[in-house]
Chain A
């Protein structure tokens, strides 16, 4: 990782109860950049999608860790969210709108689409040691 003006790292249990905590904490960390409400909501939604993926797909409900890194450089927020779960078989396909491997569970298949819409950049890859990393960034324009 390149140098940031400010950053924090966190490892937290992949539990549903932690979803709201993670997105609120990341949103709070961005407040010094003076984001608009809309920018804050964009970040919260994108984070929520990435964390849900770790819990629902990466670990499929089993226990595990989610690693979070949030860095700020000038007015850009960088967010890296990783799990150590089963990985994604076909990332390109997973990123297509409405594609889901869990249609019986009423999954919309819109997670990556929302991340793409709400953030400036997104990078998704399988880790060499297993699991998935999602890297997101967004310039705070306000």
Chain B
């Protein structure tokens, strides 16, 4: 798993690529929390680009719920962009889109 960040008009785009599972969990968690720590108030939203996430399981869901709670405290909404079909099913099934809307 790798995450690349891009900042555009106060919005942060995080491009995730690889497998989001227990083995990559700590990296994703730390990386996003680091972003939250280092980004001052100018960040208006975070977009997680999922187009290159080839696999995800319920560990990923736990991480997303956890990040939602942290980012919303700073009034930063999170959006999920372009998930692959299988990942999309898991996100839908677990209700993640109710707190992190899907965008394309």
Contacts and interface: CB of A to CB of B under 8 A. Distances in A.
Interface of A: 16-17, 19-20, 37-38, 41-42, 44-45, 48-49, 52, 55-56, 105-111, 113-114, 117
B23 A38 contact: no
Contact of B90 (A16, A17, A20, A45): A45
A111 B55 CA distance: 15
Nearest to B86: A41
Contacts of A56: 22
Interface in B62-104: 62-63, 65-66, 85-86, 90, 93-94
A117 B93 contact: yes
A138 B92 CA distance: 22
A108 B22 contact: no
Contacts of B93: 113-114, 117
Contacts of A37: 86
Nearest to B94: A110
B58 A20 contact: no
A2 B16 CA distance: 43
B36 interface: no
B22 to A, nearest CB: 5
A56 B22 CA distance: 9
